[in-house]
Protein backbone atom coordinates (compact mmCIF):
# COMPACT_ATOMS: atom_id res chain seq x y z
CA UNK A 1 0.00 0.00 0.00
CA UNK A 2 2.88 2.36 0.81
CA UNK A 3 4.40 1.71 -2.64
CA UNK A 4 1.09 2.65 -4.27
CA UNK A 5 0.84 6.01 -2.52
CA UNK A 6 4.57 6.70 -2.99
CA UNK A 7 4.30 6.01 -6.74
CA UNK A 8 1.13 8.10 -6.97
CA UNK A 9 2.68 11.07 -5.15
CA UNK A 10 5.87 10.88 -7.23
CA UNK A 11 3.79 10.67 -10.42
CA UNK A 12 1.73 13.74 -9.48
CA UNK A 13 4.87 15.74 -8.62
CA UNK A 14 6.69 14.69 -11.81
CA UNK A 15 3.74 15.30 -14.12
CA UNK A 16 2.92 18.59 -12.38
CA UNK A 17 6.47 19.85 -12.97
CA UNK A 18 6.56 18.78 -16.62
CA UNK A 19 3.08 20.05 -17.49
CA UNK A 20 3.88 23.40 -15.86
CA UNK A 21 7.10 23.65 -17.89
CA UNK A 22 5.30 22.77 -21.13
CA UNK A 23 2.42 25.19 -20.63
CA UNK A 24 4.71 27.95 -19.41
CA UNK A 25 6.52 27.73 -22.76
CA UNK A 26 3.23 28.48 -24.55
CA UNK A 27 2.32 31.18 -22.01
CA UNK A 28 5.66 33.02 -22.09
CA UNK A 29 5.90 33.20 -25.89
CA UNK A 30 2.22 34.19 -26.17
CA UNK A 31 2.75 37.09 -23.76
CA UNK A 32 5.94 38.16 -25.59
CA UNK A 33 3.91 38.33 -28.80
CA UNK A 34 1.21 40.50 -27.25
CA UNK A 35 -1.47 37.80 -26.93
CA UNK A 36 -3.92 37.99 -24.04
CA UNK A 37 -3.86 34.81 -21.94
CA UNK A 38 -7.18 34.09 -20.23
CA UNK A 39 -6.22 31.01 -18.21
CA UNK A 40 -3.10 29.01 -17.34
CA UNK A 41 -4.24 25.65 -15.96
CA UNK A 42 -2.21 22.76 -14.56
CA UNK A 43 -4.65 19.84 -14.51
CA UNK A 44 -8.22 19.48 -15.70
CA UNK A 45 -11.60 19.61 -14.00
CA UNK A 46 -12.57 21.43 -10.82
CA UNK A 47 -10.02 24.05 -9.67
CA UNK A 48 -8.52 23.43 -6.23
CA UNK A 49 -6.45 26.64 -6.30
CA UNK A 50 -6.70 29.79 -8.39
CA UNK A 51 -5.19 33.26 -8.62
CA UNK A 52 -5.70 36.17 -11.03
CA UNK A 53 -2.72 38.40 -11.81
CA UNK A 54 -2.77 42.09 -12.70
CA UNK A 55 -3.06 41.36 -16.45
CA UNK A 56 -6.26 39.37 -15.87
CA UNK A 57 -4.74 35.90 -16.45
CA UNK A 58 -6.27 33.26 -14.18
CA UNK A 59 -3.74 30.72 -12.87
CA UNK A 60 -5.37 27.43 -11.85
CA UNK A 61 -4.36 24.12 -10.30
CA UNK A 62 -7.15 21.66 -11.10
CA UNK A 63 -8.22 18.37 -9.58
CA UNK A 64 -7.22 15.92 -12.34
CA UNK A 65 -3.38 16.06 -12.74
CA UNK A 66 -3.22 14.52 -16.21
CA UNK A 67 -2.29 17.52 -18.34
CA UNK A 68 -2.91 21.22 -18.62
CA UNK A 69 -3.64 24.04 -21.03
CA UNK A 70 -3.18 27.72 -21.79
CA UNK A 71 -6.36 29.42 -23.01
CA UNK A 72 -5.65 32.48 -25.18
CA UNK A 73 -8.11 35.08 -26.42
CA UNK A 74 -9.27 33.95 -29.86
CA UNK A 75 -12.06 35.44 -32.02
CA UNK A 76 -12.94 31.99 -33.37
CA UNK A 77 -14.18 30.82 -29.97
CA UNK A 78 -14.57 33.98 -27.84
CA UNK A 79 -16.64 37.14 -28.00
CA UNK A 80 -13.95 39.80 -28.41
CA UNK A 81 -14.41 43.52 -27.89
CA UNK A 82 -13.13 45.67 -30.79
CA UNK A 83 -10.43 47.21 -28.59
CA UNK A 84 -9.07 43.68 -27.80
CA UNK A 85 -8.86 42.35 -31.34
CA UNK A 86 -5.16 43.17 -31.59
CA UNK A 87 -4.36 40.88 -28.59
CA UNK A 88 -6.11 37.78 -29.95
CA UNK A 89 -4.23 34.66 -30.99
CA UNK A 90 -5.84 34.48 -34.41
CA UNK A 91 -4.86 38.09 -35.25
CA UNK A 92 -1.14 37.28 -35.09
CA UNK A 93 1.00 36.31 -38.04
CA UNK A 94 1.45 32.65 -38.89
CA UNK A 95 5.09 32.89 -37.73
CA UNK A 96 3.98 34.17 -34.33
CA UNK A 97 1.39 31.41 -34.01
CA UNK A 98 4.02 28.81 -34.92
CA UNK A 99 6.31 30.25 -32.24
CA UNK A 100 3.59 30.04 -29.58
CA UNK A 101 2.65 26.45 -30.41
CA UNK A 102 6.23 25.21 -30.74
CA UNK A 103 7.25 26.84 -27.45
CA UNK A 104 5.66 24.06 -25.34
CA UNK A 105 7.73 21.15 -26.70
CA UNK A 106 10.84 23.36 -26.87
CA UNK A 107 10.36 24.21 -23.17
CA UNK A 108 10.32 20.47 -22.41
CA UNK A 109 13.62 19.99 -24.25
CA UNK A 110 15.18 22.94 -22.43
CA UNK A 111 14.00 21.54 -19.09
CA UNK A 112 15.60 18.17 -19.95
CA UNK A 113 18.92 19.93 -20.57
CA UNK A 114 18.55 21.72 -17.22
CA UNK A 115 17.71 18.46 -15.36
CA UNK A 116 20.67 16.62 -16.91
CA UNK A 117 22.89 19.62 -16.13
CA UNK A 118 21.96 19.43 -12.44
CA UNK A 119 22.42 15.66 -12.51
CA UNK A 120 25.96 15.91 -13.87
CA UNK A 121 26.81 18.70 -11.40
CA UNK A 122 25.68 16.55 -8.46
CA UNK A 123 27.36 13.46 -9.88
CA UNK A 124 26.15 10.09 -11.13
CA UNK A 125 27.76 7.03 -9.49
CA UNK A 126 27.91 4.23 -12.02
CA UNK A 127 29.68 1.05 -13.11
CA UNK A 128 31.81 0.53 -16.20
CA UNK A 129 30.31 -1.90 -18.76
CA UNK A 130 32.55 -4.82 -17.86
CA UNK A 131 31.45 -8.07 -19.49
CA UNK A 132 30.93 -11.25 -17.48
CA UNK A 133 30.22 -14.56 -19.14
CA UNK A 134 28.08 -14.75 -22.26
CA UNK A 135 24.81 -16.67 -22.31
CA UNK A 136 25.54 -20.02 -24.05
CA UNK A 137 24.42 -20.21 -27.71
CA UNK A 138 23.53 -16.51 -27.74
CA UNK A 139 24.35 -13.84 -30.31
CA UNK A 140 27.00 -12.39 -28.01
CA UNK A 141 28.58 -15.81 -27.36
CA UNK A 142 29.27 -16.24 -31.10
CA UNK A 143 31.90 -13.46 -31.17
CA UNK A 144 33.89 -14.72 -28.13
CA UNK A 145 34.46 -11.47 -26.27
CA UNK A 146 36.75 -12.34 -23.32
CA UNK A 147 35.31 -12.08 -19.84
CA UNK A 148 36.10 -8.80 -18.00
CA UNK A 149 36.43 -6.92 -21.29
CA UNK A 150 35.01 -3.39 -21.24
CA UNK A 151 32.54 -2.37 -23.95
CA UNK A 152 34.03 0.89 -25.23
CA UNK A 153 31.59 1.74 -28.00
CA UNK A 154 28.62 0.47 -30.00
CA UNK A 155 28.23 1.62 -33.60
CA UNK A 156 30.82 4.32 -32.89
CA UNK A 157 28.90 5.66 -29.88
CA UNK A 158 30.97 5.89 -26.68
CA UNK A 159 29.62 3.76 -23.84
CA UNK A 160 30.74 4.82 -20.36
CA UNK A 161 28.35 2.68 -18.34
CA UNK A 162 25.62 0.06 -18.76
CA UNK A 163 22.95 2.71 -19.34
CA UNK A 164 24.90 3.94 -22.37
CA UNK A 165 25.21 0.36 -23.60
CA UNK A 166 21.47 -0.23 -23.20
CA UNK A 167 20.53 2.95 -25.12
CA UNK A 168 23.02 2.14 -27.87
CA UNK A 169 21.66 -1.41 -28.27
CA UNK A 170 18.05 -0.22 -28.38
CA UNK A 171 18.96 2.20 -31.16
CA UNK A 172 20.12 -0.80 -33.25
CA UNK A 173 16.72 -2.52 -33.32
CA UNK A 174 15.97 -3.61 -36.88
CA UNK A 175 19.62 -3.72 -37.98
CA UNK A 176 21.22 -6.94 -39.23
CA UNK A 177 24.54 -6.27 -37.50
CA UNK A 178 25.81 -4.37 -34.46
CA UNK A 179 29.39 -3.08 -34.44
CA UNK A 180 30.97 -3.28 -31.00
CA UNK A 181 34.42 -2.33 -29.71
CA UNK A 182 35.78 -3.85 -26.50
CA UNK A 183 38.92 -3.16 -24.50
CA UNK A 184 40.46 -6.47 -23.54
CA UNK A 185 41.12 -7.15 -19.83
CA UNK A 186 44.37 -5.94 -18.26
CA UNK A 187 45.45 -4.12 -21.43
CA UNK A 188 44.87 -1.00 -23.51
CA UNK A 189 44.22 -3.05 -26.64
CA UNK A 190 40.82 -2.45 -28.22
CA UNK A 191 39.28 -4.99 -30.56
CA UNK A 192 36.26 -4.59 -32.88
CA UNK A 193 33.50 -7.19 -33.04
CA UNK A 194 30.43 -7.51 -35.25
CA UNK A 195 27.31 -9.13 -33.83
CA UNK A 196 25.05 -10.89 -36.33
CA UNK A 197 21.57 -9.67 -35.36
CA UNK A 198 19.69 -10.80 -38.48
CA UNK A 199 17.80 -13.32 -36.28
CA UNK A 200 17.71 -11.07 -33.21
CA UNK A 201 14.42 -11.26 -31.34
CA UNK A 202 14.12 -8.47 -28.79
CA UNK A 203 10.95 -8.13 -26.71
CA UNK A 204 11.54 -5.09 -24.43
CA UNK A 205 8.43 -5.82 -22.37
CA UNK A 206 9.84 -9.26 -21.47
CA UNK A 207 13.61 -8.86 -21.23
CA UNK A 208 16.43 -6.34 -21.16
CA UNK A 209 18.41 -5.42 -24.26
CA UNK A 210 21.49 -7.08 -22.75
CA UNK A 211 19.69 -10.35 -22.04
CA UNK A 212 18.25 -10.42 -25.57
CA UNK A 213 21.80 -10.55 -26.96
CA UNK A 214 23.14 -12.86 -24.24
CA UNK A 215 25.36 -10.26 -22.53
CA UNK A 216 25.84 -10.86 -18.82
CA UNK A 217 27.41 -7.93 -16.94
CA UNK A 218 30.29 -8.78 -14.65
CA UNK A 219 29.11 -9.62 -11.14
CA UNK A 220 31.16 -9.95 -7.98
CA UNK A 221 30.92 -13.12 -5.93
CA UNK A 222 27.57 -13.39 -4.17
CA UNK A 223 27.08 -15.53 -1.09
CA UNK A 224 23.80 -16.91 0.28
CA UNK A 225 24.10 -14.72 3.38
CA UNK A 226 21.01 -12.57 3.80
CA UNK A 227 21.43 -8.79 4.10
CA UNK A 228 17.72 -8.03 3.63
CA UNK A 229 14.48 -9.93 4.21
CA UNK A 230 11.33 -8.35 2.79
CA UNK A 231 8.32 -7.92 5.07
CA UNK A 232 5.28 -9.79 3.82
CA UNK A 233 7.42 -11.96 1.52
CA UNK A 234 7.68 -15.77 1.78
CA UNK A 235 11.05 -15.37 3.54
CA UNK A 236 9.70 -12.87 6.03
CA UNK A 237 6.57 -14.92 6.73
CA UNK A 238 8.67 -18.07 7.31
CA UNK A 239 10.89 -16.34 9.88
CA UNK A 240 14.14 -15.95 7.96
CA UNK A 241 16.35 -13.20 9.45
CA UNK A 242 19.07 -10.86 8.26
CA UNK A 243 22.39 -12.63 8.86
CA UNK A 244 21.05 -16.13 8.13
CA UNK A 245 23.39 -18.16 5.92
CA UNK A 246 21.55 -20.63 3.65
CA UNK A 247 23.51 -23.87 3.30
CA UNK A 248 21.01 -26.28 1.69
CA UNK A 249 17.85 -26.31 -0.44
CA UNK A 250 15.52 -29.27 0.03
CA UNK A 251 18.39 -31.14 1.70
CA UNK A 252 20.86 -30.53 -1.15
CA UNK A 253 23.99 -28.54 -0.22
CA UNK A 254 24.43 -25.38 -2.29
CA UNK A 255 28.14 -24.93 -1.43
CA UNK A 256 28.17 -21.13 -1.00
CA UNK A 257 26.70 -20.78 -4.51
CA UNK A 258 23.99 -18.10 -4.56
CA UNK A 259 23.32 -18.63 -8.25
CA UNK A 260 22.58 -22.32 -7.64
CA UNK A 261 20.17 -21.37 -4.85
CA UNK A 262 18.53 -18.69 -7.00
CA UNK A 263 18.02 -21.10 -9.90
CA UNK A 264 16.54 -23.69 -7.53
CA UNK A 265 14.07 -21.18 -6.07
CA UNK A 266 12.87 -20.22 -9.56
CA UNK A 267 11.89 -23.85 -10.27
CA UNK A 268 9.50 -24.12 -7.30
CA UNK A 269 6.88 -21.41 -7.82
CA UNK A 270 4.00 -21.63 -5.32
CA UNK A 271 5.53 -24.73 -3.68
CA UNK A 272 6.78 -25.42 -0.16
CA UNK A 273 10.53 -26.02 0.14
CA UNK A 274 12.96 -26.64 3.00
CA UNK A 275 15.84 -24.25 3.60
CA UNK A 276 18.72 -25.15 5.89
CA UNK A 277 20.28 -22.08 7.45
CA UNK A 278 23.07 -21.28 9.87
CA UNK A 279 21.99 -18.64 12.37
CA UNK A 280 24.34 -16.91 14.79
CA UNK A 281 22.98 -16.74 18.31
CA UNK A 282 25.35 -14.73 20.49
CA UNK A 283 28.64 -16.67 20.25
CA UNK A 284 27.16 -19.89 18.88
CA UNK A 285 25.94 -20.96 15.43
CA UNK A 286 22.66 -22.87 15.27
CA UNK A 287 21.57 -24.92 12.25
CA UNK A 288 17.86 -24.71 11.44
CA UNK A 289 15.64 -26.30 8.80
CA UNK A 290 12.85 -23.88 7.88
CA UNK A 291 9.85 -24.71 5.65
CA UNK A 292 9.04 -21.86 3.24
CA UNK A 293 6.02 -21.56 0.94
CA UNK A 294 7.46 -19.78 -2.10
CA UNK A 295 5.43 -17.24 -4.04
CA UNK A 296 5.50 -16.78 -7.82
CA UNK A 297 6.04 -13.89 -10.21
CA UNK A 298 6.23 -13.55 -13.97
CA UNK A 299 9.68 -12.81 -15.41
CA UNK A 300 10.25 -12.70 -19.17
CA UNK A 301 6.86 -14.34 -19.66
CA UNK A 302 7.61 -17.29 -17.33
CA UNK A 303 6.36 -18.10 -13.84
CA UNK A 304 9.23 -18.22 -11.36
CA UNK A 305 9.50 -18.95 -7.67
CA UNK A 306 10.08 -15.96 -5.39
CA UNK A 307 11.64 -15.91 -1.89
CA UNK A 308 12.03 -12.17 -1.11
CA UNK A 309 15.61 -11.78 0.15
CA UNK A 310 18.80 -10.00 -0.86
CA UNK A 311 22.19 -11.79 -0.64
CA UNK A 312 25.56 -10.39 0.37
CA UNK A 313 27.86 -9.47 -2.51
CA UNK A 314 31.52 -8.56 -2.50
CA UNK A 315 32.19 -4.91 -3.42
CA UNK A 316 33.07 -4.04 -7.00
CA UNK A 317 36.77 -3.44 -7.69
CA UNK A 318 37.53 0.27 -7.49
CA UNK A 319 38.76 0.33 -11.09
CA UNK A 320 35.30 -0.80 -12.28
CA UNK A 321 33.50 2.14 -10.64
CA UNK A 322 33.08 5.59 -12.17
CA UNK A 323 31.61 8.85 -10.93
CA UNK A 324 30.19 10.96 -13.76
CA UNK A 325 30.64 14.35 -12.07
CA UNK A 326 31.47 17.51 -14.01
CA UNK A 327 32.15 21.15 -13.28
CA UNK A 328 29.74 23.99 -14.18
CA UNK A 329 31.25 24.45 -17.65
CA UNK A 330 31.85 20.77 -18.46
CA UNK A 331 28.35 19.71 -17.36
CA UNK A 332 26.58 21.78 -20.05
CA UNK A 333 27.91 19.95 -23.15
CA UNK A 334 27.30 16.64 -21.34
CA UNK A 335 23.67 17.64 -20.70
CA UNK A 336 23.24 18.83 -24.29
CA UNK A 337 24.71 15.60 -25.65
CA UNK A 338 22.52 13.41 -23.44
CA UNK A 339 19.39 15.32 -24.40
CA UNK A 340 20.18 15.14 -28.10
CA UNK A 341 20.91 11.40 -27.83
CA UNK A 342 17.51 10.72 -26.25
CA UNK A 343 15.65 12.99 -28.69
CA UNK A 344 17.13 11.22 -31.71
CA UNK A 345 16.58 7.80 -30.12
CA UNK A 346 12.93 8.63 -29.39
CA UNK A 347 12.27 9.76 -32.97
CA UNK A 348 14.07 6.63 -34.19
CA UNK A 349 11.81 4.43 -32.03
CA UNK A 350 8.69 6.17 -33.40
CA UNK A 351 9.90 5.44 -36.91
CA UNK A 352 10.51 1.78 -36.03
CA UNK A 353 7.09 1.60 -34.40
CA UNK A 354 5.57 2.71 -37.72
CA UNK A 355 7.65 0.24 -39.75
CA UNK A 356 6.89 -2.61 -37.35
CA UNK A 357 10.47 -3.12 -36.09
CA UNK A 358 9.14 -2.20 -32.63
CA UNK A 359 5.84 -3.65 -31.41
CA UNK A 360 2.99 -1.54 -30.01
CA UNK A 361 3.20 -3.89 -27.01
CA UNK A 362 6.18 -1.77 -25.93
CA UNK A 363 4.06 1.36 -25.43
CA UNK A 364 3.83 2.47 -21.81
CA UNK A 365 1.13 4.54 -20.13
CA UNK A 366 0.49 6.36 -16.86
CA UNK A 367 0.85 3.26 -14.67
CA UNK A 368 4.38 2.55 -15.93
CA UNK A 369 5.25 6.24 -15.62
CA UNK A 370 3.99 6.27 -12.02
CA UNK A 371 6.06 3.19 -11.19
CA UNK A 372 9.11 4.78 -12.82
CA UNK A 373 8.55 8.01 -10.90
CA UNK A 374 8.25 6.18 -7.60
CA UNK A 375 11.30 3.96 -8.05
CA UNK A 376 13.52 6.79 -9.33
CA UNK A 377 12.45 9.09 -6.49
CA UNK A 378 13.21 6.30 -4.02
CA UNK A 379 16.78 6.00 -5.33
CA UNK A 380 17.50 9.71 -4.81
CA UNK A 381 17.46 13.13 -6.45
CA UNK A 382 19.99 12.25 -9.18
CA UNK A 383 17.87 9.39 -10.50
CA UNK A 384 14.65 11.42 -10.19
CA UNK A 385 16.24 14.21 -12.26
CA UNK A 386 17.20 11.67 -14.92
CA UNK A 387 13.63 10.33 -14.95
CA UNK A 388 12.18 13.87 -15.24
CA UNK A 389 14.51 14.63 -18.15
CA UNK A 390 13.53 11.43 -19.99
CA UNK A 391 9.78 11.97 -19.55
CA UNK A 392 10.12 15.66 -20.44
CA UNK A 393 11.79 14.70 -23.73
CA UNK A 394 9.06 12.15 -24.45
CA UNK A 395 6.35 14.69 -23.63
CA UNK A 396 7.91 17.19 -26.01
CA UNK A 397 8.23 14.64 -28.81
CA UNK A 398 4.69 13.28 -28.38
CA UNK A 399 3.34 16.82 -28.65
CA UNK A 400 5.25 17.30 -31.92
CA UNK A 401 3.53 14.35 -33.59
CA UNK A 402 1.45 15.61 -36.54
CA UNK A 403 -1.88 14.72 -34.95
CA UNK A 404 -4.31 17.67 -35.14
CA UNK A 405 -5.25 17.42 -31.47
CA UNK A 406 -1.57 17.92 -30.46
CA UNK A 407 0.84 20.82 -30.91
CA UNK A 408 2.33 19.03 -33.92
CA UNK A 409 -1.07 19.01 -35.63
CA UNK A 410 -1.46 22.76 -35.17
CA UNK A 411 2.06 23.26 -36.53
CA UNK A 412 1.12 21.14 -39.57
CA UNK A 413 -1.87 23.39 -40.27
CA UNK A 414 0.28 26.53 -39.96
CA UNK A 415 2.94 25.12 -42.28
CA UNK A 416 0.21 24.42 -44.85
CA UNK A 417 -0.95 28.01 -44.37
CA UNK A 418 2.60 29.23 -45.03
CA UNK A 419 2.80 27.22 -48.24
CA UNK A 420 -0.67 28.01 -49.59
CA UNK A 421 -1.01 31.56 -48.29
CA UNK A 422 -4.38 30.86 -46.62
CA UNK A 423 -5.57 29.03 -43.49
CA UNK A 424 -6.77 25.44 -43.60
CA UNK A 425 -10.61 25.52 -43.71
CA UNK A 426 -12.21 25.21 -40.29
CA UNK A 427 -14.28 22.18 -41.34
CA UNK A 428 -11.13 20.30 -42.33
CA UNK A 429 -9.46 21.36 -39.08
CA UNK A 430 -12.43 20.09 -37.09
CA UNK A 431 -12.39 16.75 -38.90
CA UNK A 432 -8.66 16.52 -38.27
CA UNK A 433 -9.12 17.18 -34.56
CA UNK A 434 -11.65 14.37 -34.30
CA UNK A 435 -9.42 11.99 -36.23
CA UNK A 436 -6.40 12.93 -34.12
CA UNK A 437 -8.37 12.46 -30.90
CA UNK A 438 -9.40 8.95 -31.98
CA UNK A 439 -5.81 7.95 -32.81
CA UNK A 440 -4.54 9.40 -29.53
CA UNK A 441 -7.28 7.62 -27.58
CA UNK A 442 -6.41 4.32 -29.31
CA UNK A 443 -2.71 4.70 -28.50
CA UNK A 444 -3.47 5.57 -24.88
CA UNK A 445 -5.79 2.57 -24.60
CA UNK A 446 -3.07 0.25 -25.93
CA UNK A 447 -0.55 1.77 -23.50
CA UNK A 448 -2.86 1.32 -20.50
CA UNK A 449 -3.66 -2.29 -21.47
CA UNK A 450 0.10 -2.91 -21.74
CA UNK A 451 0.61 -1.36 -18.30
CA UNK A 452 -2.04 -3.58 -16.74
CA UNK A 453 -0.63 -6.71 -18.38
CA UNK A 454 2.77 -5.97 -16.79
CA UNK A 455 1.41 -5.68 -13.24
For 168-212, write each residue's pLDDT tens digit: 888 888 888 999 999 988 788 899 999 998 888 777 666 778 888
- 439 pLDDT above the threshold of 70: yes
What domains can you pick out in the chain, each with its CATH number? 125-220+315-324 (2.30.42.10), 222-308 (2.30.42.10)
> What's the CA gap between 132 and 147, in Å, rounded?
5
Residue 342 buriedness (CB in 10 A; 0-12 / 13-18 / 19+): buried
What rounded mean pLDDT belongs to the chain? Answer: 84
For 333-346, write each residue's pLDDT tens digit: 999 999 998 898 88
**For residue 453, what pLDDT band results from cuts at 50, 70 and 90?**
low
Instruction: Give the residue with greater pLDDT, 304 vs 355.
Output: 304
- What is the reported pLDDT for 108? 95
75 is catalytic: no
User: Is the alpha carbon torsion for 213, 218, 220, 226 positive or negative?
Assistant: negative
Catalytic residue among 23, 150, 205, 286: 23
Could you give the angle at the alpha carbon of 269 between the alpha carbons of 265 and 271, nearest 5°? Answer: 95
> What's the CA gap between 430 and 434, in Å, rounded?
6
Amino acid sequence: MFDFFWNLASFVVALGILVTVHEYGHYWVARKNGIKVIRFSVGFGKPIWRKVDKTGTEFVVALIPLGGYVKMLDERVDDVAPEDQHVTFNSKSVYQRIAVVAAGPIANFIFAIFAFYLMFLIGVPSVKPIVGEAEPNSIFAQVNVPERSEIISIDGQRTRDWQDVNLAIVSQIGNDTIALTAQLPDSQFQKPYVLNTSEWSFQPEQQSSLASLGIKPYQTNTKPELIAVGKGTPAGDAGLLVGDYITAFNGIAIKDDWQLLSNSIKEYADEEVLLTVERKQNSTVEELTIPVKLASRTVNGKEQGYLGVSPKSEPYPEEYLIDLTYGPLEALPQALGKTWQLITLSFDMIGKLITGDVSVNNLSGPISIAQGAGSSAGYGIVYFLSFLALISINLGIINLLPLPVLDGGHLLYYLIELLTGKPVPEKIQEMGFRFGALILLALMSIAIVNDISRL
